[in-house]
Amino acid sequence: MQLQYLRIGSISTTHGLDGKLKIHPTISDLSVALEIPHVYLLRKGSYECFDVEHISRIKSELLLKMKGIDDIETSRRYIGTEVYVDRDELEPLEEDEYYIPDLLGLSVVTDDGKTLGKINDVIETGANDVYSVRMENGKDVLIPAIHDCILDVDIDGGKMTVHLLPGLIDEENK
């Protein structure tokens, strides 16, 4: 099931003296976060909303300046805090595009009705993503995120239907 808020990372450290914070991202496409008007910090079980003064990319991290946080002492209080964005404030995804956190934990069933396991990781290879599915026997099977293999993704229903190409699962892993 899709949650209203999408986790984009966690605050790793401060940056400078004027309240900027570095975010270690949990999303692969950092550009989705570059035009957001608000961030939601999860603290003590509830979301606290902050207006974004500035957000940019620095190498593989995000640099965030929130309105009202103007010094290093105040910003230090947020180190380790998880950072979320409201899905309604993001650009809509294209067809067959998904956020990785939405895929993790999906039940995977084959096109002949057999339960394969649950997605426990998404590996980004450049050409196409690969879904790591943990089977009941504790072993992982890797399924390429291509149309020949991925038949249906139902985020709200918590299920992905796949077609296993020959060789994806060897006899000892069945």
d(CA 150, CA 9): 27
The model carries a pTM of: 0.72
**Tens digit of each residue's pLDDT (9 = 90 or more) over 77-93:** 999 999 999 988 888 88
**Tens digit of each residue's pLDDT (9 = 90 or more) over 33-66:** 888 999 999 988 889 999 999 999 998 899 999 9
Q: Which of 3, 1, 174 is nearest to 88 (CA)?
A: 3
* Residues 6 or more apart whose Cβ sits within 8 Å of residue 157: none
